[in-house]
Structure 1
Amino acid sequence: MLLIRPIQQSDYPALMQIAAESGAGFTSLPVNEQKLKQKIAHSEHSFAVETDKPGNQGYLFVLEDTESGEILGTSGIEASVGLSTPLYHFHQSTVVHHSNELNVFNPVEVLTMCNDYTGVSEICTLFLREPFRNGLNGRFLSKVRFLFMAEQPKRFAKLVIAEMRGVADDNALPPFWQWLQTYFFSIDFPTADHMIGVGNKGFIADLMPRHPIYVSLLPASAQQVIGEVHENTKPALKLLENEGFIHRGYVDLFDAGPTVEAQLKQIKSVRQSHRVKVVIEADTAVRKGVNQLAVCNCETLNFRATFTDDCRFDSERNALLISPAAADALKVADGDFVRYLNLDKGAK
């Protein structure tokens, strides 16, 4: 059975492996022992703390194969970003150069560095290891965050963002970065990427251009990737677009990947998830469903989630019928509440 749960200290070797596999550009998981162990400890504290408002909490989940004990991937949520360290973006907008005398009306795109997303929640750290990118694994790993947020809305901001990885060449170097390195920095991309990953962001404010940048003055290679995503990130972006996330012109400083946003209450999986009582049904013929459902308990510290078609919603009893094995994995008993969501494509 595949199970999603909060990360714990014993998962450190698996998290380090995932950090190494994720490669350059995946700044939320730096290949750094101290930072990864801090991230685990911070997550454990965040799940344990009692709060009714978003703050400096970070929730990190792992996807585990309960039979083998292997960790297949990660998924995370930051409750409120930009509070302890600034969160920078470029915002792409249009200015108009206009002269009545010359009869010239010339709109031009500019990039302006900003902190507009300070205080919002962020879904992040989504990574499914290559051998397990099949079936509904990726969909489950992404959507489980929305089940948790739907169950714990007071822990999160009204607006939710996701930073998508930008385009990189065969050497994992973003074309957008190259002009920045040439004119503003004296360090290479892996160094800058590592510094951001371990939280050393002061150099951004020190060295980044402080005035709006005219996009038309950038090299063509940089212009072409603004707002575009890495090939490996396209499935994740499509999932979020289907959830209702949109791009409003905010892009990453270094690879120009888009940041997308949605109101928490308007996210499709939040709206379409249901909170019901559970009935443990031993008879497979009675409980067997036709759709793959993601199901989670309603806990915080002991949060558990799985997906299966071996369950169904019984409208007469207004309850979800699940197997004893699923109940054991979710740590629920008859009469407990769970939240479920249809994972099948096109589900309404």
Structure 2
Amino acid sequence: MIIIRPIRSSDYDALHTIAIESGHGFTSLPINEELLQNRISHSEASFAKSVTEPGNEGYLFVMEDTKTGQVVGTSGIEAAVGLDDAFYHYHLGKVVHSSRKLNIYNTVETLSLCNDYTGSTEICTLFLSEKYRKNKNGRFLSRMRFLFIAEHLERFSDTVIAEMRGVSDENGRSPFWDWLEEHFFSMDFPTADYLTGIGKKVFIAELMPKYPIYVNLLSKDAQKVINQVHKNTKPALRLLEAEGFSKRGYVDIFDAGPTVEAQTRDIRSVHENLRCQVIIGEVSSKDRYIICNTQVENFRAVQSPISLRETAKQAVIPADVAEALMVNEGDWIRVIAN
């Protein structure tokens, strides 16, 4: 069975492998033993913590194939970004240059450095091993986070964002960064991306242009990739758009990939899921649902057919699913069709 659970210290080797497989542009998982160990420890502390409002908690989940014991994917939630380290974006804006006397009117796009998303909840660190990209596992790994948020709203902000990976090639070359590197940074994209991933962000404030950048002054290649996603990220973007996320003109400062946002309670999986009491029994239905328990430290989620009794707010689930979810008859679960 495929389950999703909180990460634990024994998952370090699997997380390190995922960090390697994820490649360039996956800032939240740098290939650094100390940082990965800290990420796991911070997640364990966050799941164990009693919370009444979002703070610097970070929740990291893993997908496990219980048949083999192998960890095959991960996804995460940062409760409130930018509280400890500055959280930078570029905001796409416009300025108008006009002259009535000469009858000239020109609109120019600009990029302005900002910290507008400070305090927002971020869904992040989504990666699934290629062998397991089937049976809607990717959707499961992404959407189950919204069930966790729905059950524990006090832990999260009113706004949820997701940074989409921008355009770069197989060697980590970003056309947008190439322009910044040439004029301001004098370091390649993988190096800048890695420094950010390990928390060394001071160089951004020191070297980043202090004034808005006129987009039409960038190279043509750089202009083309602004607000565009990496080809491997397109399915993740479509999934989030189906959940109600949209672009608001904010892009990553390194690769110019878009950041999408949604109001937490408006996210489809947050407001459309059902909270039901468990009945353990035989299930004849073939319709598969994402199902999770209502716990924090012992959170579990699976995909399985269930029989819904919506009027009674009950769900019939198989015994093996109940065992995987660590629930008994009469306990509460959240479900949504996948």
Structure 1 range deviating more: 188-197 or 9-18: 188-197
* Aligned 1:210-225 pairs, distance under 5 A: 210-225=210-225
Distance (Å, rounded) in 1 between the aligned partners of 2:311 and 2:123: 36
> Which secondary structure does the structure 1 equivalent of 2:225 belong to?
coil
1:150 and 1:16 map into 2 onto residues whose CA distance is 30
Is there any run of 5+ residues in structure 1 with no aligned partner, and where?
344-348
Separation in 1, partners of 2:248, 2:57: 26
Give the structure 1 partner of residue 59 of structure 2: 59
CA distance in 2, matches of 1:50, 1:72: 29
Q: Distance in 1 between matches of 2:109 and 2:327?
A: 54
2:334 equivalent among 327, 334, 339: 339
**Amino acid of the structure 2 residue aligned with 1:5:** R
C-alpha distance in structure 1 between counterparts of 2:65 and 2:255, whole Å: 34
For residues 192-341 of structure 1, the aligned pairs below 5 Å read 192-281=192-281, 283=282, 287-309=283-305, 311-315=306-310, 317-341=312-336
Q: Which amino acid aligns with 1:339?
A: R
How far did 1:316 drift? 6.0
SS state at 1:145 partner: helix
> 2:182 aligned with 1:182, yes or no?
yes
SS at match of 1:184: helix
Runs of 4+ in 1 over 6 A off after TM superposition: none
- Give the 3 Å change call, closer, same or farther, for CA 166–316 of structure 1 in structure 2: closer
Query: Deviation at 1:72?
Result: 0.9
- The equivalent of 2:117 in structure 1 is 117
Correspondence 1:52-201 to 2 at 5 A: 52-201=52-201
Could you list the per-position Cα deviations for residues 47-70 of structure 1 after superposition, in whole angstroms to 9, with x for gaps in the alignment?
Answer: 000011000000000000011001
Q: Deviations over 1:7-37 (max 9, x none)?
A: 0000000000000000011000000000000
Tell me the percent identity: 55
Structure 2 CA distance for aligned equivalents of residues 313 and 135 of structure 1 = 21
Q: Which amino acid aligns with 1:80?
A: A
- Asked whether the equivalents of residues 275 and 313 of structure 2 are also in contact (C-alpha less than 8 Å), the reply is no
RMSD of the alignment, in Å?
A: 0.9
Residue segments in structure 2 that go unaligned for 5+ positions in a row: none
Partners of 1:11 and 1:312 lie apart in 2 by 34
**CA–CA separation in structure 2 for the residues paired with 1:142 and 1:82:** 22
Amino acid at match of 2:67: E
Aligned-pair CA distance for 1:148: 0.1
One-letter identity of the residue aligned with 2:287:
N
1:47-96, Cα deviation, whole Å (9 max, x unpaired): 00001100000000000001100111001000000000001000001111
2:201 and 2:312 mapped to 1: Cα distance? Answer: 54
Distance 1:315 1:288 in 2: 16
Post-superposition Cα deviations, 1:258-289, rounded to whole Å, max 9, x if no partner, equal 000000000011111111100011x3xxx222
Distance between the aligned counterparts of 1:288 and 1:74, measured in 2?
Answer: 31
Which amino acid in structure 1 is aligned with residue 25 of structure 2?
Answer: G
Q: Return the alpha-carbon distance in structure 1 between the equivalents of residues 267 and 163 of structure 2.
A: 16
Give me the whole-angstrom Cα distance separating, in 1, the residues matched to 2:188 and 2:290: 42
| 315-324 or 48-57, larger mean C-alpha shift | 315-324
Deviations 1:313-335 (A, max 9, x none): 12464310011100110000000
Separation of aligned partners in 2, 1:149 and 1:116: 22
* AA in 1 matched with 2:66: T
Task: State how far apart, in whole Å, the 2-side matches of 1:23 and 1:290 are.
Answer: 37
- Contact 2:166 2:257 (C-alpha < 8 Å) held by counterparts: yes
